[in-house]
Chains A and B, each alone.
Chain A
């Protein structure tokens, strides 16, 4: 059994209103100078077939039209 993390991000160039809202909130809390905030998703999973992860991501976990994904296998 392998533990893996899948990081899913909005594709560059696609407006990410969540990221903008978070970025807009930070200065109000006194955190100045934070830019480029993008909000994605983290999926943690365990699998005995890690080879299938890219296909699994393309078919379900991410929508390749609007999201990029990155699979991180944990030791």
Chain B
């Protein structure tokens, strides 16, 4: 679990990892030795205050070079919210996250539909499955040029879409999450780590952590 100055969801994500039975630890962003890790989570928050563009500065953190090398070797990487923004800025995922269409910070529970993307990280989630997971962001409007979107759809790389009527930010084609071309890097704006206990209204987010954990076994 990477930790940047300004990360704020790393502890919830760490706790979500523990619930799957996995071992997990925080790794400060200045660390470059990621040996011994089976998977990397780039958590949510406001790294470097979202200065310039969300994720634009964190992508140059020393750890990110090691994350890129880890991903290139097929290592599983999950980016959540700001982590998704960082992975897009780093070029590990296609597209970019723009300011929300309504210009407001949105914090609400939304329904996602799993698109059956070809990714080992999503093996535990059925295509068409609906997950109730919160979003909380100001810059979550997914964008990629039309040609790129056509390609992502044709290649089965859209991981999640907002269910009809649930798109909170104006994301193109209701896209909430995508995977890279090998399927081992997954990014999404909603926060599965905030939906791991029925007490909070939904534990659908745990399914994603369990699905990622399955890859490691």
Contacts and interface: CB of A to CB of B under 8 A. Distances in A.
A60 interface: yes
Contacts of A18: 99, 103
Interface of A: 14-15, 17-18, 21, 60-61, 63, 65-66
- Binding site secondary structure of chain B: loop
Contacts of B89: 63
Contacts, number: 32
Interface stretch (B16-24, B52-60, B188-196, B201-209): B52-60
A65 B144 contact: yes
B60 A14 contact: no
Interface of B: 52-53, 56-57, 60, 89, 95-96, 98-103, 141, 143-145, 170
Contact of B96 (A15, A17, A63): A63
The 7 closest A-B pairs by CB, nearest first: A66-B96, A17-B103, A65-B96, A17-B101, A63-B96, A21-B103, A63-B53
A15 B170 contact: yes
Nearest to B60: A60
Contacts of B143: 14, 65-66
A57 to B, nearest CB: 12
B187 to A, nearest CB: 15
Given A60-B52, A61-B52, A17 B102 contact: yes
Nearest to A41: B52
B56 A65 contact: no
Contact of B95 (A17, A60, A61, A65): A65
A15 B189 CA distance: 19
A63 B95 CA distance: 10
Contacts of A66: 96, 98, 143
B27 to A, nearest CB: 23
A3 to B, nearest CB: 20
10 contacts: A14-B98, A15-B141, A17-B102, A18-B99, A18-B103, A21-B103, A60-B56, A63-B56, A65-B95, A66-B98
B111 to A, nearest CB: 24
A61 B143 CA distance: 18
A2 B25 CA distance: 46
Contacts of A60: 52, 56-57, 60
